[in-house]
Structure 1
Amino acid sequence: MVDFQSVTKRFGSSRDENQFTALDGVDLSVARGAITGIIGRSGAGKSTLIRLVNGLEKATSGRVVVDGVEVGSLSETGLRDLRRQVGMIFQHFNLLSSRTAFDNVALPLEIAGVDKNEIRAKVGPLLDLVGLGDKADRYPSELSGGQKQRIGIARALATSPKLLLSDEATSALDPETTQSILALLKQINAELGLTVLLITHEMEVVKTIASHVAVIDRGKIVEQGRTFDVFTGAKHETTRSLLSASLGTQLPEWIRGSMKPQPGAGDRILVRLIFFGDTAFQPLTGRLVAELGADVNILAGSIEEIAGEPYGSLVVAYPAEPAVVERANRFYAESGLSTEVLGYVA
């Protein structure tokens, strides 16, 4: 649906010493019908990237192709036509305070010159779709944050777009409301076959909703692929840093503070066991205890879903004696279990 081909975007004149490169040779494809997330730190280039899709910004070089049409080659009339095919939802909703929920959703249709009867026939079902059919006459000041975002989503869908852009759409919402908005986006994606491209710095959002993800750092795509593959096998330091607080079991501070990189006499080794795919449903922990004996401590554990696939981790400790470590490593290799040595404690 969207193809970025060697896209670079600079702000400022080439003769300006303050010229800033926001995007630097970006190559990225967004699959039709998928939910694709773009994650990165503030200032990494996420917002610039998404604004190129609907022509709010123009690439300095390279091509941005949306549904077979090169955005940079379009006239103003062509851009207006494109924007009717590309809906957008925003972090701060951007509703007009003087218009009711119904009238906010109707606005894009009014601008497009759609007949009033047709507008009425279109807006009602959209409000029902987002669960706010009974709030048609309410003003934004009478709605909660989550309800405002649902109105924003209905407005974005008014022109029957092929593509929905989400610019940090859940950042201003509490966790419970965020989950309800993500569930709505998944429903819309499934029922309407709508391609969704979202940018966020929230790992939970991508983990919950996106089938594919791209990681952007200093204007470059440093890692991309299936969300599960990227999250469970992150190769780039930026990806690992972004994921460190949101993925896998976190050890208590008193344990982290006592860990050391090399073992001493009588120390214990701390190992994170990672369960996914075939290993997620096997009783490997019990088999590890049987292999090493009773001297295995379970220090922490968690299980979650990444893009609908199970992912679990467990931190265990056992004697760092060479014979014990060798038996454990042999067991890991035979069972296909992924592991990570975290350190050693007395």
Structure 2
Amino acid sequence: MVAFEGVGKRFGPAGEGGFTALADIDLSVARGSITGIIGRSGAGKSTLIRLVNGLEKATTGKVIVDGIEVGGLGEDNLRGLRRQIGMIFQHFNLLSSRTAFDNVALPLEIAGVDKAAIKAKVGPLLDLVGLGDKANRYPSELSGGQKQRVGIARALATDPKLLLSDEATSALDPETTQSILELLKRINAELNLTVLLITHEMEVVKTIASHVAVIDAGRIVEAGRTFDVYANPSHETTRTLLASALNLPQWLRDSIKQVPAAGDRVLVRLVFFGETAFKPLTGRLVAELGSDVNILAGGIEEIGGEPFGSLVVSYSADPAVVARAEQFYAETGLTTEVLGYVA
């Protein structure tokens, strides 16, 4: 549905005084998928997504949406393409003077659709997002989650093939975030709608995305199936983002060192998936290393329909102990990641 081919974006003049926001972006978004683009603030996420609907133009390379190169379109054709691309925003961007019904109707009015057709379209959309009884409410009378549902209904009004989500849940509380993500998953499945979302929250990607791309300093540093990236991150940026989802106590995070001192303990993340998800490997690790093993955090969940578990353990950083542990990991096929060292 979307392809970025050697895409770069620069703001300002070439050379000194300009700023390169994106460089050498190669990425494909499969039709019908939910693909997440994750990165820290300032990594280039918003710029990347704005290239898809032509709100920004690529400086180099091509952005292709459903076979059409966005950068080669004139204004009239670009308007036509934008009707095929819905977008939802972090702060909803509803018009305060219009009811929920009228906010959803707005893109249809702009497209010149007659009133009877608008009424026939907007009602079912509000029902789809669970707000059929809120049609005549104004944004000031709605909660944050309800406003975002109106925004989603509005984005669907022109029957788009692609839905862009720009940090759509970051202004919402966790419970509301979960309900919005479930709604997006249902829309993706029922309408076969491709969803491209940007976020800085690994929890959002893990919950909803089938595929993920990690962006750092304007470059894609890692991409693939969400499960594969989550289970075996290859880039430091990905590992840092994942660390925030491990639910480690703050005091423990603050005490992690990258270089051990005498007597320190190594902090290791053990990842269980596939065959290893059903084996009693933690008990065998304790038997191998003795009672020195401490379990500090852990959980079991499902990512992309596959079982996934992780444990954070610590044990002596003594080279002999570490060697025994690494041999155990090699023999059992257990995926591990050294997070650092603690006193």
Q: Deviations over 1:246-275 (max 9, x none)?
A: 1x36266369749772554xx765543221
Corresponding position of 1:150: 149
Distance 1:160 1:2 in 2: 17
Corresponding position of 2:90: 91
Letter aligned with residue 128 of structure 1 = D
Q: Deviations over 1:121-159 (max 9, x none)?
A: 111110010000000111111000100000000000000
- Aligned-pair identity in percent equals 78
| 1:107-122 matched pairs, under 5 angstroms | 107-122=106-121
Query: Which stretch shifts more, 237-246 or 142-151?
Result: 237-246
What is the TM-score when the length of structure 1 is the normalising length? 0.90
Distance 2:78 2:252 in 1: 57
| 1:154-169 matched pairs, under 5 angstroms | 154-169=153-168
* Cα 1:13/1:115, change in 2 over 3 Å: same
Q: Deviations over 1:248-304 (max 9, x none)?
A: 36266369749772554xx76554322122111222223334445555443332223
| 1:1-346 matched pairs, under 5 angstroms | 1-14=1-14, 17-246=16-245, 248=246, 250=248, 253=251, 257=255, 261=260, 264=263, 270-293=267-290, 296-318=293-315, 327-341=324-338
Equivalent residues, number:
342
Larger C-alpha radius of gyration, 1 or 2? 1
* Cα 1:116/1:286, change in 2 over 3 Å: same
Q: Deviations over 1:77-106 (max 9, x none)?
A: 101110110000011111111111111111
* Cα 1:79/1:324, change in 2 over 3 Å: closer
Distance 1:263 1:274 in 2: 27
Unaligned stretches of 5+ residues in structure 1: none
Letter aligned with residue 304 of structure 1 = E
What's the secondary structure of 1:43's corresponding residue?
coil
How far is the alpha carbon of 1:107 from its aligned partner?
0.9
Distance 1:243 1:11 in 2: 31
How far is the alpha carbon of 1:208 from its aligned partner?
0.9
What's the secondary structure of 2:270's corresponding residue?
strand
What's the secondary structure of 1:131's corresponding residue?
coil
Letter aligned with residue 180 of structure 2 = I
Letter aligned with residue 5 of structure 1 = E
- Two-structure CA RMSD over aligned residues (Å): 2.5
Q: Deviations over 1:44-86 (max 9, x none)?
A: 2111111111111111221111000111111211011101100
What's the secondary structure of 1:38's corresponding residue?
strand
Distance 1:11 1:332 in 2: 48
Distance 1:227 1:206 in 2: 7
What's the secondary structure of 1:29's corresponding residue?
strand
Query: Which stretch shifts more, 226-235 or 292-301?
Result: 292-301
Query: Which stretch shifts more, 196-205 or 285-294?
Result: 285-294
* Cα 1:151/1:342, change in 2 over 3 Å: closer
How far is the alpha carbon of 1:311 from its aligned partner?
2.5
